[in-house]
Amino acid sequence: MSLDMGPNPLWQLEDLLPDLALQPGQRVLDLGSGKGATSVFLARECGATVVAADLWVSAAEATDNFVAAGVSDLVTAVNADVRSLPFADGEFDAVVSIDAFEYFGTDVHLLPTLLRVLKPGGRLAMSTPGLATDPYDGPLPDYVRELAGWEAACWHSPQWWHRHWELSGLVGNIRSRWQSGGRDDWLLWARSGGEKHGPVGADPVIRMLEQDVDEQLGFTLISATKN
Ligand SMILES: C[S@@+](CC[C@H](N)C(=O)[O-])C[C@H]1O[C@@H](n2cnc3c(N)ncnc32)[C@H](O)[C@@H]1O
């Protein structure tokens, strides 16, 4: 948990892994990897060769974490913006992104830029905080508006992300879903101390999740294959 920067990234990644079907030795871009929790997991559990790319966390800080976790032979940290990735065309077998796509992925220009570094036939998979009723389709619950404010406009439903990726015409075999029990996992993680390092602290997040009795809050999981 000391490496988590968003809600329960490892539980989300575990849920996405079947969609990625990673093989040991495959080259994976962990996009928006933060302090590196998911990169450590991908190396340890899947034997993947991981490039951990992140904007806010320096490569030096992330590298220290990978050395401490004993995975520095498999994981390389890179400080980069997704809009100008310093990688070759088709360099990766898969791209995975946990709790980060909401910061950049709603821009229609993002997918073509990102897909450049993925092999044709490679898998792209991401999970992101979401609202079961898309913010563009219905009123925001008050408890969400109070905590998240304008940021909740990017907490999209699986249907929104599905259509967004479909409209690009650049990917196929799109699988999108609402994560079962996502709000409960988020609350469990927050109560266990996960949110204490976040920008607003644990208590307001816990209060928001406790008010969410009809599970509007949770996670959108989506994956697709590059054409
Ligand atoms: C909520 S944190 C999640 C980090 C990590 N995936 C985790 O779950 O612990 C979001 C991450 O997205 C990254 N990010 C935001 N905008 C980015 C961009 N334009 N390019 C690359 N990474 C970006 C930030 O640097 C940050 O570490």
Q: Does the pLDDT of residue 200 top 70, yes or no?
A: no
Q: How confident is the model at residue 188 (pLDDT cuts 50, 70, 90)?
A: very high
Inside any domain, residue 54: yes
Q: Does the pLDDT of residue 84 top 70, yes or no?
A: yes
Task: Tell me, in angstroms, the distance from the centre of ligand 1 to residue 100's CA.
Answer: 5
Pocket of ligand 1, candidates 99, 111, 113: which has the most ligand atoms within 8 Å of its Cβ, to mutate? Answer: 99
Q: Which residue range forms the structural domain that includes residue 77?
A: 9-130+152-180+218-226
Task: Tell me, in angstroms, the distance from the centre of ligand 1 to residue 56's CA.
Answer: 7
Residues in the ligand 1 pocket, defined by CB under 6 Å: 4-6, 9, 32-34, 37-38, 54-57, 81-83, 98-100, 103-104
Residues contacting residue 45 through CB under 8 Å, at least 6 positions apart: none
Inside any domain, residue 139: no
Residues contacting residue 24 through CB under 8 Å, at least 6 positions apart: 46, 47, 48
Task: Tell me, in angstroms, the distance from the centre of ligand 1 to residue 187's CA.
Answer: 21
Alpha carbon nearest to ligand 1 atom 13, residue: 32
Percent of the chain at pLDDT exceeding 90:
94
Percent of the chain at pLDDT exceeding 70:
97
Inside any domain, residue 77: yes
Q: Are 79 and 52 in contact (CB under 8 A)?
A: no
Inside any domain, residue 57: yes
Q: Based on the structure, what is the number of domains in the chain?
A: 1
Inside any domain, residue 47: yes
Inside any domain, residue 44: yes
DSSP state of 96: E
Q: Does the pLDDT of residue 196 top 90, yes or no?
A: no
pLDDT average, residue stretch 16-45: 97
Q: Which CATH number covers residue 86?
A: 3.40.50.150
Alpha carbon nearest to ligand 1 atom 14, residue: 32
Task: Tell me, in angstroms, the distance from the centre of ligand 1 to residue 33's CA.
Answer: 6
- CA separation for the pair 225, 227 (Å, rounded): 6
Q: Which residue has the higher pLDDT, 204 or 154?
A: 154
Alpha carbon nearest to ligand 1 atom 17, residue: 55
How does the average pLDDT of the chain come out, rounded?
A: 96
Inside any domain, residue 169: yes
Inside any domain, residue 62: yes
Task: Tell me, in angstroms, the distance from the centre of ligand 1 to residue 39's CA.
Answer: 13
Task: Tell me, in angstroms, the distance from the centre of ligand 1 to residue 88's CA.
Answer: 21
Tens digits of per-residue pLDDT, 115-166?
999 999 999 999 999 999 999 999 999 999 999 999 999 999 999 999 999 9
Supply the pLDDT for residue 202: 73
